[in-house]
Structure 1
Amino acid sequence: MSESPLSRRALLGIGMSAGAAATLATGCTGTATGMAARKELRIGVQSLPSTLDANGSVSNSGIQAYHNIYDTLIARDTKAEQAAFKPGLAKSWKQVEDLTWEFELRDDVTFHDGSPFTAADVVYSMNRVITKEDPSYATAYAYLLANVTEFKAVDDFTVRATTKHPEPLMEHLLSDPNAGISAKAYTTEVGLDAASNKPVATGPYQVAEYTPDVSLILEAVPGHWSGEPPYTKITYLSIPEIASRITALKNDEVDFITNIPPDQETLLAGDQRVKIVGGVLELYHLYRLNMSNPVLAKPELRAALDYAIDRAAIVESIWEGKAEAATSYQFTSYQDALKFPDRQDIAFDAEKAKQLVASSGYAGEVIEIYNTTNYYTYADLVAQAVVDMWADVGVTAKLVQVDDIPDEDPGLEIRTWSNPLYYPDPMGMIERHWAPEGEAANKKHFIATEAYTDAFNRMRYGQDEAARKEALAELFDFYRAQTPFVYLFKPYESLGMRSNIDYTQSPNLRPYCLSFRAGDIAERST
């Protein structure tokens, strides 16, 4: 555990001085001529997942790989501009009764070990999450399958799912990579721990080798049912430092890198051998506040921490103005009918923050912000800026850098987190992160009231759009009044790659989801 020595006033000059690091680019401009298409792809990532069990880890690092290893019952159409679905492991699906869905499965699919895919594998994979056979399944259950009581096999290639309430979002839920299907026979034979390091699934790539925190090697499954995989081999390499990832790309040690912040893009400028694809992500970086912690028990203090942050200054200084400062709890990509154009719940107001601190009973305790080292881009720099902003309104805080955040420690006060929009509906954020029985609630960090739970259920299961919007307004009112979290900004990040790689991020995939399936990436010889 270590505390960052940087201060906000120092970092405002440091984070943007790409010129100081530009020596990495010297003599490496090159050209794109004579570049051949390759059948192996090497990816430099900021971090690797702690497990390869797609049901067991809902993380930004995991989603970079799971979509390529696992198939889901329903697939998302990566070519569509709006939410659209297509057959996955299920050839077709329909709601046969208010509380019953039926899925007709493909009969030509095999697992990575050659065994046939059948209804038994779907029932096993989904029901183990519903019953929370392993504690790690609690998060996937909470935001994907909390409304499902069970899956049952009708025959070898037909499955039915029974729900507690009519399910308006089934296609969104069962197309999420965290609802991937595993081989029942293999997993039960080797056990969950062994299977989490080398899963057997049905995706276009199979796990050849996995060394946690070091590398993940995937090999293509020839003749995959969804199309021939573009690469014979994919290697993910853990390269936590952005400068090292950029150097690796320029030196042709990798072909593709992730998590490039704006100020580092200049290191690739002018090099015709590489290109950048990026933009503002549909997710918020935020602080999750522990409502059960005695120091943060008063909503006045939590609100003060929110109002004290000048997000525009952080975006301008650290993100070169390219990130998007949070002004509300909304996302641009979900349906207009559920948006509140005039609602601005988030604002910088230092005087109001001082008044709230004074009325909260805050006694000068040092509030700790826990952050996972090399996980959220520039989280350390942002935290140091926030620490100074909080000091300006009378709150003492410090940044604590750790390898793993101790969520189970009741003394934990604040942790860094992100809230991606998992699918284009307000519930794509709310159910994953702020469900009454979701991850934050299970950790006792988030405390939902009866009124909140009622509004949540009306929003989640409602069929009438106007009624859903009314319930959504109540949820937003709760967030403003109780401040269980502090939204900061939507980050701007880019992918870097060899210039002959054709790849764009589909708006129908979650932020950070990388798809190397047939039709989603291609290479040209130049």
Structure 2
Amino acid sequence: MLIHRRNFLIGTGVAAGSLALPRFAIAQGDQRPSITIAVQQISNSASLEPLREQSNVGERTFSFLYEGLIMRNLQGQMEQVPGLATSWKRINERTVELTLRPGVKFHNGDEMTADDVAFTFSRERMFGPDYDITSNKTLFANVMVRDSVQGKALPPEVMAVAKRSWPALEKVEAVDKYTVRFVNRTPDVTMEGRIARYGSEIISRRGYEEAKTWIDWARAPVTTGPYKVRSFSPDQELILDAHEDYWGGRPPLKSVRLVVVPEIASRVNGLFSGQFDFICDMPPDQIPGIEKNAKFEVQGGLIANHRLTVFDKHHPQLVDPRIRQAVTHAIDRQAIVDSLWAGRTRVPAGLQWEFYGPMFVEGWTVPEFNLQKAKDLVKAAGYKGDPIPFRVLNNYYTNQVSTAQILVEMWRQAGLNVQIEMKENWQQIFENNGQRAIRDWSNSAPFTDPISSIVNQHGPNGQQQQTKEWENDEMNRLSVAMETETDMPKRKAMFKRMLEICEREDPAYTVLHQNATFTGKRKDIQWKSAPAFAMDFRGHNFRIA
């Protein structure tokens, strides 16, 4: 429900003339402000480890803490820029050499060296002690795997993400104190992108080794970012302090508090009352109400993330691909964009982004909205009206519940009996109990190649196949071939064929719309949002007018 300022003031008993600006907390002896940011969640996994928390909310949280050798320009168009490495070069098709930035300090005061970088990508931290480099195989089980070197138990999800991100990494070697080489087992044109991707951030070797358990590490990681962990209460709050020795200059904030506020109305009310300085994940219908007050504004827009509807092809009602095809053709995506997003997002060209450059498949579209075609497919498949479960979270994604309600009505018009099942968490969403059929998801592109998206999430090592929702032999062969192919026209042809399989012939998912994120804030705070979930609070991007 749209919250109007007048109604808010009446409901709280505050006179309009007495509404004060939200006040920053000023730490004694330090004139820098401390801010509070209201988010709908900090981390889904109750950890602060990117290899365990591959999520939209995690990307936002970790932007305060973690940095990579190659970084994304959060104040530009997310292009690659020097980060903890000042430069990099290709040695050959399998090798990239990077020069480290000297003098970078971890949160524990240690200087970052090539040894820390090599350890970050080691079996001990990423792949597990049983990882076989030559065969690229790991013993995966639904139990914690014992790390014999550090005495820590690595969650299987960590190893799965590592293998997905680096399917053919042979080694990362320290050439000297400030030089490292990434060596792949096979040719890979995407190595620079993998180095820059979410999950390849650098950690302190000593910080990791001194942690008693993996979860102790994961809730207080020692990294290089502008802010460091003071305390973390999962599902409640995360308090960060400035990293005073940050290589990028003194952070502009003394501390940052991220607090979990699931309800949109509570986030908006808290902004107006001064309880919060920033509020995240604002639906477009809230923007006019916030901006009617001259003291506040909303920033944000399109990001490199698409909202998807995903299929479990093994559910009895979805085994026939014609039913999944009917689901895709029954969706009027533009109506969702217009009605729920006020035209602030768009229907993209399938699971791809224009920044793929020469790999972008021109002329490709999402399945057309054609209700009659959907009805014909339903009839041809012999569907008898049996229920099809649709698993949904309570607005983890912006407009998630309202989107689900619209989708169910669209599918009903095509003759599909889809029924919403509200779930509390992602574990319940993925639970394979024989009732998994359709679910919500999103898909990001952390670097400018289809490998980062369609292969990363829907290929043989992707989460959809790892959770046994969907598989396709041709898609898997193409995924493996594309990861080693260096001829760009051949790679583009492979990608186009992947789109045909995953979005048309044997649907694994269907794209709904490109995602967008909006942040409410005080208008007198000079701060620029990034074209991503990540939030940038370094020295150049925060000032009070």
* TM-score, normalised via structure 1 length: 0.88
1:178-189 aligned at under 5 Å gives the runs: 178-189=199-210
**Partner residue, 1:40:** 34
Give deviations 1:95-148, integer Å, cap 9, x for gaps.
Answer: 223322233333423321223433332222212324474312245324421231
Q: Of 123, 126, 129, which residue of structure 2 is paired with 1:129?
A: 126
For 2:477, give the aligned amino acid: D
Relative distance call for 1:269 and 1:110 in structure 2 (3 A) is closer
Q: In the aligned structure 1, how far is the partner of 2:382 from the partner of 2:543?
A: 61
8 A Cα contact 2:188 2:486, kept in partner: no
For 2:73, give the aligned amino acid: D
State the Cα distance separating 1:22 from its structure 2 match: 6.4
Relative distance call for 1:289 and 1:30 in structure 2 (3 A) is farther
Give deviations 1:307-347, integer Å, cap 9, x for gaps.
Answer: 11122222222222333235533323331x33344222421
**Partner residue, 2:452:** 428
Q: Of 102, 111, 114, which residue of structure 1 is paired with 2:106?
A: 111
For 1:254, give the aligned amino acid: F
Q: Of 351, 356, 378, which residue of structure 2 is paired with 1:357?
A: 378
Relative distance call for 1:77 and 1:379 in structure 2 (3 A) is closer
User: What's the Cα RMSD here?
Assistant: 2.6
Relative distance call for 1:80 and 1:260 in structure 2 (3 A) is closer
Can you give the 5+ residue segments of structure 1 that lack an aligned partner in the other structure?
A: 1-16
1:48-447 aligned at under 5 Å gives the runs: 48-49=42-43, 50-81=46-77, 83-86=79-82, 88-127=83-122, 128-131=125-128, 133-189=154-210, 190-326=212-348, 328-335=350-357, 337-405=358-426, 406=428, 407-411=430-434, 412-447=436-471
Q: In the aligned structure 2, how far is the partner of 1:252 from the partner of 1:21?
A: 14
**Partner residue, 1:522:** 542
Q: In the aligned structure 1, how far is the partner of 2:477 from the partner of 2:252?
A: 47
**Partner residue, 1:448:** 472
For 2:517, give the aligned amino acid: E
Q: In the aligned structure 1, how far is the partner of 2:509 from the partner of 2:205?
A: 39
Say whether 1:494 aligns with 2:518: yes
SS of the equivalent of 1:346 reads: coil
Q: In the aligned structure 2, how far is the partner of 1:270 from the partner of 1:20?
A: 8
8 A Cα contact 2:306 2:515, kept in partner: yes
**Partner residue, 1:3:** none
Give deviations 1:143-184, integer Å, cap 9, x for gaps.
Answer: 421231222333444332221222222222222342122222
State the Cα distance separating 1:304 from its structure 2 match: 1.0
* TM-score, normalised via structure 2 length: 0.85
How much identity, in percent, do the aligned residues show? 28
8 A Cα contact 2:389 2:419, kept in partner: yes
Task: Considering Cα pairs closer than 8 Å and 6+ residues apart, tell me whether 1 or 2 has the greater RCO.
Answer: 1
SS of the equivalent of 1:207 reads: strand
Q: Of 457, 461, 469, which residue of structure 1 is paired with 2:492?
A: 469
Relative distance call for 1:145 and 1:42 in structure 2 (3 A) is same
State the Cα distance separating 1:252 from its structure 2 match: 1.1
SS of the equivalent of 1:246 reads: helix
Matched pairs, number: 502
For 1:523, give the aligned amino acid: R
8 A Cα contact 2:2 2:285, kept in partner: yes
8 A Cα contact 2:33 2:253, kept in partner: yes
Q: In the aligned structure 2, how far is the partner of 1:339 from the partner of 1:157?
A: 36
Q: In the aligned structure 1, how far is the partner of 2:7 from the partner of 2:425?
A: 33
Q: In the aligned structure 1, how far is the partner of 2:92 from the partner of 2:18?
A: 62
8 A Cα contact 1:38 1:523, kept in partner: no
Can you give the 5+ residue segments of structure 2 that lack an aligned partner in the other structure?
A: 25-30, 132-153
State the Cα distance separating 1:410 from its structure 2 match: 4.4
8 A Cα contact 1:197 1:210, kept in partner: yes
Relative distance call for 1:505 and 1:334 in structure 2 (3 A) is farther
8 A Cα contact 2:160 2:461, kept in partner: no
